[in-house]
Structure formats: structure tokens, C-alpha cells
Amino acid sequence: MMLQQTQVDRVIPKYEEWVRKFPTFRALAKARPADVNRTWRPLGYNARPRRLHAIAREVVDRYDGALPSDEVTLRSFAGIGAYTAAAVQSFAFGLRAPIVDTNVARVLFRVFIGQSDRSSTTLQKHLWKVSAAVLPRRHVFDFNQALMDLGALVCVARKPQCSVCPMSAICQTYPPGPELKTRTQ
């Protein structure tokens, strides 16, 4: 939840501090709201600590302190949407769940689509299908992580590094136009 719309580099130190202070759902459930909100600062989007606190309490009250892994239950928590539910399934539980975050959406769009409006609801739905279609049977954790890393490190928003990208040969956006001033052609 810290990673929702927040850069990884900014999350890591706060995440370390957070899990040191609230190592379990029970510990977080017991904490005072003021303490929870203060510990979150200055990550922003302050509905997130409030919702995470509520999730911890519900996990303790209704699920014996263990987060369920099924999508329906995960999505039933306020603050867990399509991406976070899939990320928890894939990264926390090792389940075969496709993911679409800002990185994956950009990579799949550029590689397989290339044109049309990137923000339309129809396209977003389609990208989830593409993500599911390219997902291998095994090594799902590594595959999803690699897809995100490709978007975060190579196929970045502003200056994609196409010269080192393994997808350039089949990429629908390659070669990139001048609007994507590539760093290395």
C-alpha cells in the first residue's frame, strides 16, 4: 500500500521503519491511530495509513490475524484495488496472478499496442488481458517483478533506453519518436 503511486526509493526506508514498529497485523491493529498516521509521514496520500490500520483490525477480528489470499476478499478491503490485490497474490502468496501497474501498463502498451489512447478504460481492461496472456505458468513472481523492473529501469516514461531493451525487436513503439527523446537512440 505504501507503493501505491509512490516511488520505490522513497518507500524502502519508511517500509523498514514501519515493519520494525508494526511487525504483525496484531501489532498494527493495537496501535493508536495518531501513532499510525505519524509513522506514515511524509509518504502522503494519508487515507492509506488509515485504511491499512482498518485492514489490520479486520484481519485480526475476522481472519485470525492472517491475510486471506483470494481476490474477492482482498478487494473487499478499502484501499486494496485491482493492482494491490494482484500484487499481494503474486508477490506475497506466489499465486499465478497477472498484474498491471503504471510500469507494466507502459511496457505492454508500448510493446504490444503502440497507438491509441493509453488512458481509456477499454484499453486498461485490455492490458489486464495482455498481462494474463503473457504470464508464464511458472516463475510468476520473477516474471512479474521483471516486467515491472523493465518499466521502472529501461522502458521508463521520459527517456526510454531502447538500446538496451530486450523487447526492441518486437516493440510496436520502436523506434521511438522524438517525443520520447531517447537517451541512447
Partner DNA sequence: GTCCAGTAAG
Partner DNA sequence: CTTACAGGAC
Residue at grid coordinates 518507500: 11
Cβ neighbors of 57 (< 8 A, separation 6 or more) are 29
Residue at grid coordinates 485491482: 82
Q: What is the DSSP annotation of 39-77?
A: HHTTS--THHHHHHHHHHHHHHHHHTT----SHHHHHHS
Q: Kindly state whether residue 87 participates in binding DNA, applying the rule CB under 7 A.
A: yes
Q: Kindly state whether residue 6 participates in binding DNA, applying the rule CB under 7 A.
A: yes
Question: Binding DNA by CB under 7 A: which of 25, 36, 84, 110?
Answer: 84
Q: Number of residues interacting with DNA: please give it, by CB under 7 A.
A: 40
Q: Kindly state whether residue 120 participates in binding DNA, applying the rule CB under 7 A.
A: yes
Residues 13-42 contacting DNA, CB under 7 A: 41-42
Q: Kindly state whether residue 98 participates in binding DNA, applying the rule CB under 7 A.
A: no
Residues 126-165 contacting DNA, CB under 7 A: 145, 148, 151-152, 156-158
49: left (phi over 0), alpha (psi -120 to 50) or beta: alpha
Question: Binding DNA by CB under 7 A: which of 24, 102, 163, 172?
Answer: 102
Q: Kindly state whether residue 116 participates in binding DNA, applying the rule CB under 7 A.
A: no
Cell of 134: 503473457
What is the rounded distance in angstroms from the CA atom of residue 68 to the CA atom of residue 179?
Answer: 44
Contacts with DNA by CB under 7 A lie at: 3-8, 10, 41-47, 77-85, 87, 91, 101-103, 106, 119-122, 145, 148, 151-152, 156-158
